[in-house]
Amino acid sequence: MIKLSPSILSADFVRLDREIKQMEDNGIKYLHVDVMDGMFVPNISIGMPVIKSIRKCTDLVLDVHLMIEKPERYIDEFIKLGCDIINFHIEATDKHREIIEKVKNAGKKVGMTIKPKTSYEEILPYIKDLDLVLVMGVEPGFGGQKLIEDSLLKTKALREYITEHNLSCELEIDGGVKIDNVKRVVEAGANVIVVGSDLFEREDRKDIIERYNKVFEEVI
Ligand code: DX5
Ligand code: ZN
């Protein structure tokens, strides 16, 4: 099933409860939460206290994207906070197996993420143990950037691998997705679609979510 995972990085943080409620009211199931440390990426976003508050106000699947160096330092805390999917970057650690095991043993879902310059093949040794693979469509750090076309080729190659090996992991794409390129994104094989600016910077969220869902229905 193809679904949106709205990225709250572009939401109004003062009105986050209303922003989230609006997503729920429009049938959204996943919520993408970007955590940045100013080291792994040249930006700082939100961390534990905000996730704690979000968790209290929604039952949406919290799809947390850790853009932090050495994520193994904080995995226990993100598990405790009630994150449902914990995505960490392959480039940020050398403790891949340890993180995967820890997240899965806690009954949470684990995702591994690759930056635009990282080959999709680097993820293959781990893919059987992952619940999700997250392909960056832009250099991580900021919303509102343009989709890097090569990400679609990676998405396609990963989808082929997943199908060929009969794996159940989800394939997510994050960054640069807009209503006018999302058809190509889902045709490439992504089934979890992160959208930040193209959703939260619009007045009529109901309308834009419906337009995305229409594209998803057409592609199936
Ligand atoms: C970028 C973040 C994205 C970002 C996507 O580092 O990981 O989740 O919010 O934003 P848009 O959809 O505006 O490219
Ligand atoms: Zn993200």
Q: How many CA atoms lie within 13 A of 21 on its CB side?
A: 6
Ramachandran bin of 44, using left for φ above 0, alpha for ψ from -120 to 50, beta for the remaining angles? beta
Our answer to whether residue 174 is catalytic in this structure is yes
For residue 102, the CA-to-ligand 1 centroid distance in Å is 26
Active-site residue identified among 34, 63, 131, 198: 34
Ligand nearest to the CA of 36: 1
Residue 61 β-bridge partners:
30
Residue 212 β-bridge partners:
none
SS3 category, 207: helix
Virtual torsion, Cα 73, 74, 75, 79, nearest 10 deg:
160
Residues 88, 79 contacting (CB under 8 angstroms): no
Our answer to whether residue 34 is catalytic in this structure is yes
Q: Are strands 192-195 and 61-67 parallel, antiparallel or unpaired?
A: unpaired
Q: Tens-of-pLDDT digits for all 220 residues of the chain?
A: 999 999 999 999 999 999 999 999 999 999 999 999 999 999 999 999 999 999 999 999 999 999 999 999 999 999 999 999 999 999 999 999 999 999 999 999 999 999 999 999 999 999 999 999 999 999 999 999 999 999 999 999 999 999 999 999 999 999 999 999 999 999 999 999 999 999 999 999 999 999 999 999 999 7
Atom of ligand 1 nearest to the CA of 145: 14
Q: What is the residue type of 139?
A: E
Quick one: pLDDT at residue 55? 98
Quick one: pLDDT at residue 196? 98
Q: Are strands 192-195 and 85-89 parallel, antiparallel or unpaired?
A: unpaired
Q: Are strands 132-136 and 85-89 parallel, antiparallel or unpaired?
A: unpaired
Within 8 A by CB and 6+ apart from 55, the residues are 62, 81, 82, 83
Pocket test for ligand 1, best of 4, 5, 8, 9 (most atoms within 8 A of CB): 9
CATH code, domain with 65? 3.20.20.70
Virtual torsion, Cα 2, 4, 130, 62, nearest 10 deg:
-140
The residue with tokens 């995995």 is 75
Residues 91, 119 contacting (CB under 8 angstroms): no
Ligand nearest to the CA of 175: 1
**Domain range holding 91?**
3-219
Whole-prediction pTM: 0.98
Within 8 A by CB and 6+ apart from 174, the residues are 7, 32, 65, 113, 134, 135, 136, 137, 138, 140, 194
Instruction: Please give the helix or strand (H or E) that residue 97 lies within, else none.
Output: helix 96-105
Question: How many domains is the chain built from?
Answer: 1
Quick one: pLDDT at residue 220? 73
